[in-house]
Chain A
Amino acid sequence: MHQQTRIRLFDIHSGTGAILGVFLFAVAFTGIAALFFAELEPWERDAARSAMPPGVPALDAALATAAGDEAIGLPSSFFVLLPQEFRPTIMLIHGVHGGVPVWEEFDGTTGAHLGPYAQGAGRFLRNLHTDLHIPGPFGRYLVGFGGVLMLLSIVTGVAIHAKIFRNLHVFRPFRSRRLAWTDAHNVLGVWGLPFHATLAFSGAILGLGGVLLSVVALASFGGDRDKAVAAVLGERPAETGVAVQMASLDAMLADIGVRVPDAIPASVEIGNWGDAGGEARFRVLRDDDLEWFETHAYSLATGELSKVSSVGDSVGGRIYLALTPLHFGSFGGLAMKALYAVLGLALSLVTASGTIIWLERRAQQKAPVAPWLAGATVGAMAGLPLASAAVLTAHHLLPDTTGRVFALGFVCFPVWVLATVFGAWRNDDRSALRALMGATAALLALAPVARLLFDEGRASLMPTTAVAVAEFSMLALAAAIAVAARAVPDRQHAPASTRRRLVAEPLSEDAA
């Protein structure tokens, strides 16, 4: 490649990282927590610690309970999440209050009403990744754009590396600070390249899917919106205005179990409830399959299966369906998620190290950014794990109500801002980093203590295996962060070469 072209690509790569480094780090890091939101539910709530229903979940009983309860009721259209491994309850999503969907939880075995579902730390952190808690679709679009910029960084990063395979095994931690960060950036970036590219691409599609598919659907179907919607979601039966008795949804679930024994019904979407044109659409998937997803539609008037369909019938649809499990690692059990967490941490470190390299490079070129800005950048990055740990600890300190998810926001964002201000005020990025990492380790270790002291099921030290695994992971992570914090060197103990004012190092160090 021509040297001039490489320099321009290098400028794009470093410019993207410098301007948007904190944003890309936030998207990458929150993705790690988002991986485990389902597994965290038993740690968060007593209701999620019960056993899975022995047979077909009591869907009819749950809906009868909801219909007979004046405070809940059943509208014409609603959505039900069926019991899953880490949440063996039935979740009815039946309306919107204050712009937020209203969720009611029912026992998966008896159908008894357990109360409104209070979202907790896991879903809060997951939503921080998927939409940054920005209202409407804009947060999702912003995160999707982050995926595009990450792809841009990956493409330009690969292009500027003249000796990409050499970077697989070159790590020189004891020469200069910039060289250590550069080698770490290159080693982690090259080893994780396929994973990082997959995450960035799938994240871009998932974030921007709404707007992308809307535009291209109009183009594909010649501007016929109804035809495009019908092609993806299927034709919906019209409301007749004739009231009839609804058929048994439990029987429909049993029928699916007989016809597709290895599949898992994940949810059911109800349309025209109580009407002769009523329809129940069960979404059925397989845990170990990337792109197998079917919709089984039943008539609610007769209870008969009317259609089995999947957007996976088309090649593009199959790829599209594979993106969500591919992005969240939900296709290979806990071991796959653990691998995703390690590779996700590598991606976070690649984005963070990219920003630090840029700061070091500016300092060595005698054009340093203001110390407070460098400190604030480090504070913002190290502050996000701290804020996440604070959310986990605060979960069990806050009342178990639907307002808890908002209260978690009042914990997370101020902690993040304070960490950023602390970094700027400390004027020494290393000591700020060490202090923030120490605080993160302490807060993370406090999260299991908070559960023991304040959880509704505190009578039991380790109520379930899932809780034990969650708490062991938190304590192990806290210990690892504490050890890593102690390893951050003081400025006076840094290698001599980093304390000298060096002339600008050649591009080849960053690119080679």
Chain B
Amino acid sequence: MVASPKRPALGAGQTAAVMLLSVPSALGTAAAVAAMAPMAEIDAMFLAGLSAPLVWVAVLVWGLMADGAKQALQRVGGLAAASIVLTVLAASGG
């Protein structure tokens, strides 16, 4: 439960939703990095895998610092949707 003065509180369910939506965001972003990184395939794979937890933390901070539940879900949900599209494109070699 994330709450502070001067902004609407995120309830436990909304915080959990942000955490859940951060999963595809982090994985998708890492996959996109792996597909587009200008280096050998195996290097790109390991470096993208290693960067994924850091991306994940950044996504969580960004989502949880939003002004209220609506903005939080817009931020993380939007990133998740974009990441899924990027992942599908990357995995299909597009």
Contact = CB atoms under 8 A, between A and B. Distances in A.
Interface of A: 4-5, 7-12, 15, 18-19, 147-148, 151-152, 155-156, 201, 204-205, 208-209, 211-213, 215-223, 228, 231-232, 311, 314-317, 319-320
Given A8-B65, A231-B42, A314-B43, A152 B57 contact: yes
A222 B93 contact: yes
Q: Which of A10, A213, A231 has the most CB of B within 10 A?
A: A213
A220 B48 contact: yes
B50 interface: yes
A220 B53 contact: no
Contacts of B64: 8, 11-12, 15
B25 interface: no
A219 B46 CA distance: 12
Interface residues of B, number: 42
Given A8-B65, A19-B1, A208 B34 contact: no
Contact of A315 (B34, B47, B60): B47
B93 A205 contact: no
Interface in B68-94: 87, 90-93
A205 B51 CA distance: 9
Nearest to B86: A219
A151 B53 contact: yes
A213 B92 contact: no
Contact of B49 (A155, A205, A315): A205
B21 interface: no
Contacts of B3: 11, 15
Given A7-B4, A152-B57, A315-B47, A219 B34 contact: yes
Interface of B: 1-7, 12, 15, 27, 30-35, 37, 40-50, 52-54, 56-57, 60-61, 64-65, 87, 90-93
Contacts of A151: 53-54, 57
Contacts of B37: 220
Nearest to B46: A316
24 contacts: A4-B4, A7-B4, A8-B64, A15-B1, A15-B64, A19-B1, A19-B15, A156-B61, A204-B53, A205-B49, A213-B46, A215-B30, A215-B87, A216-B49, A217-B34, A218-B91, A219-B35, A219-B45, A220-B44, A221-B45, A222-B91, A314-B42, A316-B50, A320-B49
A221 B43 CA distance: 11
B35 A317 contact: no
Contacts of B60: 12, 148, 152
Please give me the 5 A-B residue pairs with the lowest Cβ-Cβ distance, nearest first. Answer: A316-B46, A222-B93, A219-B31, A216-B34, A204-B53
B53 A201 contact: yes
Given A4-B6, A216-B31, A220-B34, A12 B61 contact: yes
A209 B53 CA distance: 10
Nearest to A18: B1
B41 A221 contact: yes
Q: Which of A7, A212, A218, A317 has the most CB of B within 10 A?
A: A212
B89 to A, nearest CB: 9
A348 B37 CA distance: 38
A206 B43 CA distance: 18
Contacts of B1: 15, 18-19
B23 to A, nearest CB: 9
B31 A218 contact: yes
A213 B27 CA distance: 10
Contacts of A316: 42-47, 49-50
A379 B1 CA distance: 22
Contacts of A211: 27
Contacts of A231: 41-42, 45
Contacts of A148: 53, 56-57, 60
